Amino acid sequence: MIYATRLGPFEPSATARDNQELAAAAPVLTRAVRRQELRTPSGGALFGTDTSGLAQSYILYSGRDVLPIGSFLGNVPAPALATLQADISRGYVPAFVLPVSPPGPDPRVRWIESHCTRVPQPPNRRPVPYADFFCGPRPGTASQPANAATGARPA
């Protein structure tokens, strides 16, 4: 941290508050990262999400890739839908955390919602505005992800 004077840090108060909140959330984020790492093969992205704003903390605590769709605010046309479909098809990113209330307007997010399996919330959990989506193989099937072009899963 850079100190401008002996009176305090040289950073806006909003930044200081955000840093304090992130530090306070460290135990929760660490547990969430560990759970996700157990479900995600090494070498791929931990998960994908609709903005890098959500991805940043998980990248920090895991050191793994988290695929942001649309950059920080979600309004950048990267990755393209075809690239995203290829990443899902090859198993690079098998899971997503996406907004559901209100639903995301991005066509890439809509494609994931319509072609991947929404993971049910645990019982007795308060409602949250996001949901987990799984795009990998169904349990008990060959380890092939959904066909990115059609969304068809192995029989």
Tens-digit pLDDT profile for residues 122-146:
888 888 888 889 997 654 444 443 3
Measured at the CA of 98, the angle between CA 128 and CA 138, to 5 degrees, comes to 105
- Please check the confidence at residue 8 and state whether its pLDDT lies above 80: no
The pLDDT assigned to 151 comes to 40
pLDDT tens readout for residues 42-72: 778 889 988 887 788 888 878 888 898 887 7
Question: What would the mean pLDDT of 101-116 be, rounded to a whole number?
Answer: 89
User: Domain map of the chain by residue range?
Assistant: 31-134
What pLDDT is stored for residue 12 in this prediction? 63
Instruction: Please give the Cα distance from 119 to 107 (Å, whole number).
Output: 20
